[in-house]
Structure 1
Amino acid sequence: MLKWLLILGVLVAMGYQTLVSFRRLVPPELEDGDRVAVLDTLGSLGNSVLLTAARFGLDLAAYKPVKVIVDSVYSVLLNGMFPGHYKDIEVRDSAIAGVPVRLFIPRKQKTPIFPAMIYLHGGGWSWLSVEVYSRFLSHLSNATNLMIVAVRYRQAPSHVYPVNLDDCRRVTWSVLAGKSGLPIHTGYVIIGGDEAGGNMAASLALEFRAKIYMQILLNPKLQMFDFLTPSHQDQQSVLTGVTSSARSAVDWLRYTGRPVSWYPALLNNAHRFPSQDILKHQTFLNSKNYLPPHLQLTEAESVPAMSYDSTAGQGLKEIITSESISPAITNNIRGVPNAYIVTSQYDIYRDEAVMYINRLHQDGGSEVKLKHYKQAFHGFFPFAGNKSWFQFKVSDQALQELVEFISFQVHRVMKNPAAP
């Protein structure tokens, strides 16, 4: 009897959460608001379960059935029930430097050697997979005429930092060194990714700055230092199922192998050990210095830490300012590869990406292109080319603009290296 009462209680709670989520207003700037509302509702349900478990020190990502459910739901959202195949794209599973990869090769590109993108998928370092992204990556390869090397990096919590990044590093080094066994032009290798994948892509762009041709970052999460940036503040009660500071904090803790129960400390920046060597990095995330007013992103400003949690502070002080974990606060940004960064108005990671790209240009001298979409939400880009109900005009627009950029900056230059 008690078991059934518990199940009934869970169902009632889920029903109430669904009702509350649907009643929340979707920002009017967002097109296709009904579709966004569904995504937000599903995310809110997931957050409720995930964060409740995390408070008790239970990490649901450690349970394979939970991961299968999450990946399956997202796959249906992203690909539809019966995703079609691209006849002009050869999809092949392989391995580079012992790391499994999936290759997407344009058949229509009649060339003995390809420009390529090493793509690192999102999902908070724990969720989703190359399989979930396969339709999107086929579409991306078909649209851009790039060979795409999608890395099947090992995921947290079974494998924590730096294992995940090391997998991506080995593939990247092998491709850049011409040791991948693939017909790739090593002078035109792009590193790219979304969300957590964008984090690792940015980290590797710093590491291989003299070799990588360009970095393409889509809604990247670039630092675990400041959870009170203006965009984190702006999203505290807006589309929290789509973009959540609390869920992000859990992702970071899981990735770095720390207890997920620490996540409340991160939300108030109480995880920052109070030493000058650590706190000085706040300079790199100062909205007054690096958020351009003309973009009209926010009325909020950077704020200081609200408190200090000694357990989280001590546990994170050795890694919180590591550039391979938080590339947005790296000190040396001279010579970093040129960057194309996509940001969304409704995304907690918006401002760290905007501040980073401005630092790259102002302080590092890199050529950059920021594409900010005021009608977009976190994670919108992989919906480009979606043929199911979850079609978003802004996703297709963003992909088309990226295609035009790559055509000009990659294919044109390959044909005529002397072109301005």
Structure 2
Amino acid sequence: MDASLLRCLLLVTAALASVLLARRSVRRAFGAGPAFVLWLLPMLAMALPWLPALPSQWGALPAIHVLPDGLAAGTAGAVASTHAPWPRWLWLAGAIAMLSRLVAQYLRLRRQSRPLPAALVTGLRQELHDLDPRRLRLHPSGPAVLWAPRSLVLLPADFLERFAAAERRLVLHHELTHLRRGDALWSLVAELVLALLWFHPLAWLARPRFRLDQELACDERVLRDAPHDDADYAHTLLHSVGLSPVPVLIPWLAEPQLKERLTMIQRHRPGALRRRAGVVALTVLMAGSVFVAQAAVHDQQAGQDLAYNSRMYPRYPAAAIKAGEQGTVILKVQVLADGSVGTITYEPEHSTTTSADLIAAATDAARQWRFNPEIKGGKPVTGYARVPVRFDIHPMPGKAGKDEVEKSSSK
């Protein structure tokens, strides 16, 4: 697997695990709305390669340690991929199958839906407020929201008979809240993410929990608008028929969600101040996490191809050894989109030596290196890497130095 894809997958895994572990605690502390905001984290992790790159001077690689015998300890970087391409084809086949299933389900629901009869539209006129009646459709899977370029509300043919007037008002309020919150779009994004991560067990574990958190956030918003309807809302849920979850629908009630939704209705909900504080705190936390992750990814995106560069480490110049010169040379290396080296600049303000021999040795070796180019918008682009090269005549005692001395003495 490509190193950049593997890093992205590890970040997404960490984000999914964090959300799954934190969602209940966040819900109890700040409410269902802020808890649903947590699901942005895995989506941001997937979008990292397309986010604006950090300033190139922040990308510094671990130091290369050059010893007098010419041996050097390499940096920890990404090794060029030599694996067969079959995992990519397998992933692509699974993603296409998932997306095809999603499209087929959507088209089937659209074909089965019908315009609302005029009598039903007239009977619901007061509950619809300013909703365009053309966004209402008749379908046995309703009440539900169907995502589309312009999301639709599906209602069953017996909607007027199935629900009393007060219950109809609450159900429609719930569905319209889904529309106002943009939940149909978020559901679509979640299904696309699942299609891309079809092989990932945490993605399948997260899917029903994402749906539940979305419903709880919608319930909380409805009850915030109508704070005296708690009992009626719970009664309506209890007397509703649960539907089997369908990827392209947001149903009024999916049976596995009932217990959690009733518990949330009965529990005391956080006030506005705590909810807003929770949203701000989570936003700052997620932004900081993305910043740190992006910095880590940036540091590795310009990583060296160790399989190739290990044969071309700098040699400690004999003149420098004789003169007792040592220290760290910092090179700013331009990494072209194909991984080759462009310009190389010595940075005296960050280096600890001004020895011309050491600078020349580091620069000569760097001209032959290869790098993993920086990724921006999913494509390799020209960037920069700061490479420290440390020349040390008398290395400090340690495992790396010991191993290198033993290798040298065994020759």
In the superposition, the TM-score normalised over structure 2's length comes to 0.24
Bigger-Rg structure (1/2): 2
Q: Which has the higher contact order (CA 8 A, sep 6+)?
A: 2
In the superposition, the TM-score normalised over structure 1's length comes to 0.24
